[in-house]
């Protein structure tokens, strides 16, 4: 039986203050990204935008496999390290692991660029090379933001996120103007904007104020738990990528890169508000939830979870209703004329990401109990459903079929996650 510790008001007021800062920052992020999308689609064609989206999707797959498990492990065990006075040890482990994994990923991309130059006609070799730079700086940025979130320094987290969202499209537009409208210029612009943000906020990074030496014994004791936590997330990342991004590649195979560009632009608009709602809720409530679990404080844990769930459920329902009612008007404001046919996917993508925002509140409980193995089974189910729906609907219905397939897969995933989360919580209390 787990110990039940009365929490009183521990962390409650602070959590809501953090939520205000994160919400303000993420509103700025949404506005910056949507304005940036309008800028980028005004200067590149659907084909160029589609090629950039496909390359960035490959980058997302790579970082999800090589880097995301390390970031998640560092976030989960941050409260343990702080409790034990070993923050510097955890940071050093994460930095070293990320350096090695990012270097390995870049080598993979460089090999792919070299092979594709001779094996694939019109291969985007320059785009793959640009992707290496983007992956390197974006992983660095994610590592620092991850630590800021874990340390609950949400003001810096929010401001940095907003600045990064504004810099990327501006730098992309500048490089496209200088180098021409191609995917490599767009991706290099994103990398440049990300790098400028790192330089601006480098001094605000989380450090061990006591400057304690790395505790080898502490790391040796924790390393098996870190590895056990992180390893299931590698196949989990691949399966999640199938559910979230593989639709673009199926669509490119059947409808061409231009259709993928149109779909990706509509997808970005409809998903962005829900992604940022998820970021706000996750950044606010996940550290509180993890801290409560680390302290065996069941009351605080339940309170954090309920606040997380009800906030995202209400905001997601409102967002889906807005896209259903205002979709065509939104496309006229946020997309260049050549891209506006993408408005048809808005309701389906909005519904999919609204469900995903709700799902993440239940996933938080699974992560808190270090049961990442359960998420693997869930993603197998979701990825299988998504692949089947993609192959059935995309050849016949194009971008609309991709959107419907995505929504169906996310609905199944959300339902399964709710069931598994509730059962794992009940078992943990026995």
For residue 6, pLDDT beyond 50: no
What's the rounded mean pLDDT across residues 188-197? Answer: 95
Tokens 């940071």 belong to residue:
91
From 231, 265, 287, the end of a domain falls on 231
Residues 280 and 149 in one domain: no
Q: Give the model confidence (pLDDT) of 404-425 as tens digits.
A: 999 998 998 899 888 888 766 5
The answer to whether position 288 is within a domain reads yes
The answer to whether position 3 is within a domain reads no
- How many domains are there within the chain? 2
Residues 184 and 89 in one domain: yes
Residues 200 and 246 in one domain: no
Q: Give the model confidence (pLDDT) of 81-97 as tens digits.
A: 888 777 788 888 888 88
Quote the CA–CA distance of 60 and 48 in Å, as a whole number.
18
**Structural tokens at position 25:** 């920052």
Angle between helix 233-244 and helix 68-83 axes, rounded to 10 deg: 130
Cα dihedral 291→154→26→106 (10° resolution)? -80
Quote the CA–CA distance of 172 and 42 in Å, as a whole number.
12
Residues 199 and 257 in one domain: no
**Structural tokens at position 275:** 């992604």
Which comes out higher in pLDDT, residue 129 or 10? 129
From 231, 246, 276, the end of a domain falls on 231
**Structural tokens at position 38:** 């309008």
> Which structural domain, as residue segments, surrounds residue 50?
11-231
Residues 222 and 241 in one domain: no
Residues 184 and 255 in one domain: no
Residues 325 and 370 in one domain: yes
Residues 240 and 188 in one domain: no
Name which of 33-42, 146-155, 192-201, 330-339 the model is least confident about. Answer: 146-155
The answer to whether position 24 is within a domain reads yes
Res 207: pLDDT: 66
Residues 195 and 245 in one domain: no
Residues 277 and 417 in one domain: yes
Q: Give the model confidence (pLDDT) of 207-244 as tens digits.
A: 655 455 666 777 788 888 888 888 877 887 888 888 88
Q: Give the model confidence (pLDDT) of 306-358 as tens digits.
A: 888 999 999 999 999 999 999 999 999 999 889 988 999 999 999 999 999 99
For CA atoms 268, 271, 277, 278, the dihedral sign is: negative
Res 122: pLDDT: 67
pLDDT band at 1 (very low <50, low <70, confident <90, very high): very low
Quote the CA–CA distance of 65 and 200 in Å, as a whole number.
28
Q: Is 4 exposed, middle or buried (0-12, 13-18, 19+ CB in 10 A)?
A: exposed
* pTM, 2 dp: 0.78
Residues 225 and 242 in one domain: no
Residues 251 and 274 in one domain: yes
């Amino acid at each position: 039986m787990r110990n039940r510790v009365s929490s009183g008001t521990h962390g409650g007021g602070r959590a809501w203050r953090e939520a205000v800062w994160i919400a303000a920052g993420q509103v700025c992020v949404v506005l910056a990204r949507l304005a940036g999308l309008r800028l980028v689609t005004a200067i590149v064609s659907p084909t160029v935008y589609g090629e950039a989206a496909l390359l960035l999707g490959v980058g997302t797959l790579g970082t999800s496999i090589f880097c995301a498990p390390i970031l998640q492990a560092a976030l989960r065990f941050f409260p343990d390290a702080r409790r034990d006075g070993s923050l510097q040890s955890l940071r050093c482990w994460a930095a070293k692991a990320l350096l090695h994994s990012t270097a390995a990923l870049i080598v993979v991309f460089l090999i792919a660029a070299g092979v594709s130059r001779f094996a694939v006609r019109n291969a985007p070799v320059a785009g793959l090379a640009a992707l290496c730079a983007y992956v390197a700086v974006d992983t660095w940025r994610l590592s620092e933001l991850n630590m800021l979130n874990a340390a609950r320094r949400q003001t810096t987290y929010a401001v940095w996120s907003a600045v990064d969202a504004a810099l990327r499209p501006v730098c992309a537009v500048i490089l496209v103007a200088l180098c021409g409208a191609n995917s490599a210029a767009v991706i290099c612009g994103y990398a440049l904007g990300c790098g400028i943000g790192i330089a601006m906020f480098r001094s605000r990074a989380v450090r061990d104020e006591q400057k304690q030496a790395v505790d080898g014994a502490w790391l040796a004791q924790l390393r098996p738990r870190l590895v056990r936590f992180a390893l299931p997330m590698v196949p989990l990342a691949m399966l999640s990528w199938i559910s979230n991004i593989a639709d673009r590649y199926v669509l490119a195979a059947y409808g061409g890169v231009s259709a993928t560009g149109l779909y990706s632009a509509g997808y970005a608009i409809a998903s962005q508000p829900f992604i940022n709602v998820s970021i706000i809720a996750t950044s606010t409530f996940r550290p509180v939830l993890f801290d409560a679990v680390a302290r065996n404080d069941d009351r605080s844990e339940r309170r954090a979870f309920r606040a997380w769930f009800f906030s995202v459920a209400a905001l997601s329902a409102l967002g889906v209703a807005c896209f259903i009612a205002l979709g065509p008007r939104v496309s006229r404001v946020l997309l260049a004329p050549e891209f506006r046919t993408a408005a048809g996917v808005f309701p389906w993508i909005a519904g999919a990401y609204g469900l995903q925002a709700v799902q993440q509140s239940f996933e938080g409980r699974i992560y808190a109990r270090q049961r990442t193995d359960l998420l693997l089974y869930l993603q197998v189910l979701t990825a299988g459903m998504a692949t089947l729906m993609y192959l059935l609907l995309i050849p016949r219905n194009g971008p609309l079929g991709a959107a419907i397939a995505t929504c169906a897969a996310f609905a199944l995933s959300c339902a399964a996650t709710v069931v598994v989360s509730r059962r794992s919580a009940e078992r943990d209390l026995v």
